[in-house]
Amino acid sequence: MNFNNILQEIEKADPEVYEKLSGRRHILKSFGSKVALAALPLALGSMFKKAYGKTTDSVISSLQFALELEYFEYNFYHTANNTGSNTTNTLIPAADRAGFLLVENEEKAHINFLRTTIDTLGAVPFTPNYYTGDPITGNPYSPASYDFTAHSTFGTFSDYGSFLDLAIAFEDTGIRAYQGQIPNLLANDNDILTQVLQLSSVEARHASFARLVRRFYNTATFQIGTKPWITTNFPPAVPLQPNYMGEDNTVQRGVDITSLTGYTGTISNSAATEAFDEPMDKATVTSLLAQFKL
């Protein structure tokens, strides 16, 4: 990255940029030697936010909501990965542990990124109820904040199949939640939009992984043909049906996908529903996850 070139391009786009930054030109010119490359986006974002004030309350709200979801998922996986004392009685079988440890670590990375970004934008990052750590740098594990059994409704950490069902539902719901926040970002901040879409794509990989693991575990209770993505509004378990309402939609931007011709003929209803993640609004997501929070 040639930092001077970046500054020159910014100046071309807005010759008055340095006046808006109140004489910070000499600071910007020395950024390349004083700030680590990985920190440049956040450092610049903070400075230009002061100059232009582009970050709106809706953007902050969307990032806070994403952080809330990431706390939820991290605590779910961290608890599962630490259930049991050795490889003979852990909840997660040895063959699957590496995958779910990776998921846990990625959820933690998402938390750290979102906390830092929200702090840089001048807001206090979300923390769960009963969280006692530092909202920016503290350990995100907060067992007092959640009851992932939903008051003993689910055998979440005593039955591997139940854990997988919830993992699928939480990830699928999280993806829909991210999709529901995209309109708040489209007209405000392309850089943040890009980052949020990248987070969403990682969550989609988490969902696919959990679905593939569940597909081949105890197939008597889960259809072997279930795919790594949602088909119609089929839930991993009946009690989780509300998380999938609306996923059987086949109309996108006014076009009925089943009326289109695909590679082997008219696109089927199942294929039409599989091609899109349906957005879910914050209120609905919050209500679905409320039973798992304290």
Mean pLDDT calculated for residue range 89-101: 91
Gap between the Cα atoms of 67 and 111, Å rounded: 6
Query: Where do the domains of the chain lie?
Result: 3-52, 57-248+275-292
* pLDDT for 282 beyond 80: yes
**pLDDT at res. 48:** 46
Burial status of residue 177 (CB atoms within 10 A of its CB: 0-12, 13-18, 19 or more):
buried
**pLDDT at res. 124:** 95
* pLDDT for 44 beyond 70: no
Spatial neighbors of 24 by CB under 8 A, at least 6 apart, are 18, 47
**pLDDT at res. 228:** 87
Confidence of residue 74 (pLDDT cuts 50, 70, 90): very high
Mean pLDDT calculated for residue range 159-176: 95
- Per-residue pLDDT of 257-281, as tens digits, reads 999 988 888 899 888 998 888 999 9
Q: Which of 52-66, 123-137, 206-220 has the lowest average pLDDT?
A: 52-66
CA-nearest of 48, 61, 72 to 127 is: 72
Q: 1-10, 39-48, 216-225 — which one is most confidently predicted on average?
A: 216-225
- Per-residue pLDDT of 177-218, as tens digits, reads 999 998 888 876 677 888 888 889 999 999 999 999 998 887
CA-nearest of 166, 176, 131 to 292 is: 166
**pLDDT at res. 80:** 96
- The CATH architecture that domain 57-248+275-292 belongs to is Up-down Bundle (1.20)
129-151 burial, b for 16+ CB within 10 Å, e for fewer? eebeeeeeeeebebeebbbbbbe
- Which two three-digit tokens encode residue 211? 């679905």
**Average pLDDT, rounded, for the chain:** 82
